[in-house]
Chains A and B, each alone.
Chain A
Amino acid sequence: MAKRNEMVKETVGSNNQVTELPHSEAPSELLRELVSHLRQNRTQLREEWVGSISQTRLLTAMTKEEIFAEATSVYDSYVEALETETFEALQAYARNLSERIIPRGVETHEVVGIVLLLRDVLARSLFAKYQTDFKKLNRILDAYEPAANRIANTVAVGFVQERERVIRQQQEAIRELSTPVLQVRERLLILPIIGVIDPQRARQLTEQLLRGIRTNRAKVIVIDITGVAAMDVTVANHLVQTVEASRLLGATVIVTGLSPEIAQTLVTIGVDLGKMNTVGDLQGGIEQAERLLGYKVERLAEPR
């Protein structure tokens, strides 16, 4: 690498002209030569690449036709990036591709894997072509390698970013799904909670609950945690604080469905049970809430 730079400097320095030397092309020349080689041998190299993909058992979630179609697009984008030395189009394509294949279950190691395979297939073809001229091969690789690495990086990062975006979106969806505030009678709200409560969810829960008390003028809330297996001490404390804050808004909270583990946690943190109104299950909780609100439920006839 150093030798080549030296030679070019000498030429420019001596007579202020860059003369065409037989064995020392400019990097862009080399890149052009490389790109035309890749274009000319497109069909063969692509086939080789697709072959190695199935050999290494990558992209098992996709059909042969799909792999071929995507491989064509990736190959063309790859060569175009090498040619233009710009990566925005490639980045956009990588995000687009990721958006399509992530729902199919394609994983990060597969995407990185196939890009590296393509890199290797193309590098091997360069070895084959320039095997008689080792110096030229070196120069070609000098031009090829940084660009190929940048491409691999761009595609991998594009894929990971898209994955992270999807995960964030799913987390948001789960969060919204899981804390509805339901009014089942005048002044009576039910909060059925399912799954894992982390501190962030707990905070969101409290916000929604207190807002719900104000909006619905609720006097009794039943928080059902049958669907919650366990909670840590922080969340348990948060639950107690939520109950107390609700009282300040004039509402009573009944907590139902405590699992044995959660009951243990509450006892361990020394919760003042006088402050916590708890009932075994949701049915019991609703019945007590109705009593508190002055309802009496009477069956008038057998179910039809």
Chain B
Amino acid sequence: MEVPILKQGAVLIATFQAALSDADLNQLRMGLVQQVVKFRSRAVIVDVTAMDVMDSFASRTLREIAHMIRLRGAETVIVGIQPEVAFAMVQLGLTLEDVTTALDLEEGLAYLNEKFKNTH
């Protein structure tokens, strides 16, 4: 399943679909980093609004994506985690610590704007 990746200036926006297989996640991990390199993006927003479950593999993949993108000097923001998913993750100990999160796409973009404004 292809995950749509949109470019908005220096930011890439990847929108996760509801049911992503492990293979899809692996593909996405490489794909996103390649896109960051290709477009010299400064940040990636991963929108998981459509995900109604988050298992440990998906959670680990998100962290790895964030780490890999940081190694390219870019920032990752995960947005759109649903309330039920958030609590389930926390109960399983999948806290996504040291990864930036925001409520939704709008908040994610606002955060990045603020950040880029200050670090110019």
A210 shortest CB reach to chain B, Å: 4
Greatest chain B CB density within 10 A among A211, A219, A247, A250 is at A250
- Whether B107 and A248, one on each chain, are in contact in the complex, defined by CB atoms closer than 8 angstroms, is no
B69 within 8 A of A: no
B48 shortest CB reach to chain A, Å: 10
Scoring A residues 52 to 80 as 1 if CB is less than 8 Å from chain B, else 0, what string do you get?
00000000000000000000000000000
- Whether B95 and A249, one on each chain, are in contact in the complex, defined by CB atoms closer than 8 angstroms, is no
Q: How far is the CA of A93 from the CA of B52 in the complex (A)?
A: 51
- Chain A residues 199-221 with CB under 8 Å of chain B are 206-207, 210-211, 213-214, 217, 219
- Whether B83 and A244, one on each chain, are in contact in the complex, defined by CB atoms closer than 8 angstroms, is no
- Which stretch in B16-24, B30-38, B96-104 binds the other chain? B96-104
Of A213, A241, A245, which contacts B103 at CB under 8 A? A213
- Whether A241 and B91, one on each chain, are in contact in the complex, defined by CB atoms closer than 8 angstroms, is yes
Point out the residues of chain B lying under 8 angstroms from A211, CB to CB. 83
Q: How far is the CA of A131 from the CA of B1 in the complex (A)?
A: 93
Point out the residues of chain A lying under 8 angstroms from B103, CB to CB. 213-214, 217, 219, 249-251
- Whether B95 and A207, one on each chain, are in contact in the complex, defined by CB atoms closer than 8 angstroms, is no
Q: How many B residues touch A, CB cutoff 8 Å? A: 18
Q: At the interface, is chain A mostly helix, strand, loop or mixed?
A: helix
Point out the residues of chain A lying under 8 angstroms from B79, CB to CB. 250
Q: How far is the CA of A217 from the CA of B96 in the complex (A)?
A: 21
* 20 residue pairs A–B, Cβ–Cβ below 8 Å: A206-B87, A207-B83, A210-B83, A210-B86, A211-B83, A213-B83, A213-B103, A214-B103, A217-B107, A219-B103, A242-B87, A242-B90, A245-B86, A245-B87, A248-B89, A249-B81, A249-B83, A249-B101, A250-B101, A250-B107
